[in-house]
Structure 1
Amino acid sequence: MGIRTLSLLASEEAWTTGHKAAAGVLTASGIPLIIGGIACLFLDDSMIGWVSIPVVVVLVVLVMLAAKKAEAAVQ
């Protein structure tokens, strides 16, 4: 598992360097999931979709930023 791009898959060193560079952003990407999960515990079933969609959008954006940061680290 991890960020799979051609430059990160080029070598073990590139994989490690890229993931170390992206670690902070990848860790931060868990924050929206935690907040969304806690919010869903207290919301009506009809509101869960309205909360989960923005949470997933934020998560995807953060993972894309992490991939970009990892790519920049191995260039």
Structure 2
Amino acid sequence: MRATVKKKAAGQVTGFPDLLILPQAKVGAFFFEIKAEGGRLSQAQKAVHEGLRELGYPVAVVRSIEDAREALIEFGVGFREAGK
């Protein structure tokens, strides 16, 4: 059985973001799609992200730590970095 067939049989949804974040804060869940610099979203990813946004969930495509920081600030999530 191919790996993708096994993943689908296990319930994986094509296009679902890489990370679901459930912070200990008064904000709800949000999602990060992690892409390499220059990486593009597939049509399935675009569709799933749009569906999540329609449900009120924030979704960010992050390519760096700086992108993640900016998304956290935009989503209203406080954070503290180790060593700072």
* Larger Rg computed on CA atoms: 1
> TM-score if structure 1 supplies the norm length?
0.29
Of Structure 1 and Structure 2, the greater strand share is in 2
